[in-house]
Amino acid sequence: MATQHYIEGKDVTEWASMAKLKAGRLLRSVPDACLQYWGGMGYTWDNPVSRLYRDGRLASIGGGADEVMLGIISKHMHTLPAHR
């Protein structure tokens, strides 16, 4: 849907922010579940899951933190209180 809108030349700021927010949250929850599955082994640096757990965390910070994405989405949905 976002790609189609982009191709049509529409503003996809809201869609892109939603996609980034969702991707960041997935990159937190999936490695977390994987690490839990591996138990203590997943927690050690020798295990690639441990690396993924740390590296995936950046997605919710870099290029605009999750909170920034939420701010952009809220602004586009006109759900922020009006500034006076």
Ligand X SMILES: Cc1cc2nc3c(=O)[nH]c(=O)nc-3n(C[C@H](O)[C@H](O)[C@H](O)COP(=O)(O)OP(=O)(O)OC[C@H]3O[C@@H](n4cnc5c(N)ncnc54)[C@H](O)[C@@H]3O)c2cc1C
For ligand X, the binding residue among 16, 19, 68, 72 (CB under 6 A) is: 68
Stretch binding ligand X (CB under 6 A), from 34-42, 44-52, 54-62, 74-82: 54-62
Q: Considering the rule CB under 6 A, would residue 30 count as an interface residue with ligand X? A: no
Q: Considering the rule CB under 6 A, would residue 58 count as an interface residue with ligand X? A: yes
Contact 66, 24 (CB under 8 A): yes
For ligand X, the binding residue among 23, 26, 65, 80 (CB under 6 A) is: 65
Contacts of residue 29, Cβ cutoff 8 Å, sequence gap at least 6: none
Minimum distance of ligand X from residue 67's CB (angstroms): 3
Site size toward ligand X, by CB under 6 A: 9
Distances (CA, A) of 66 to 2, 5, 9, 54, 60: 19, 23, 25, 16, 5
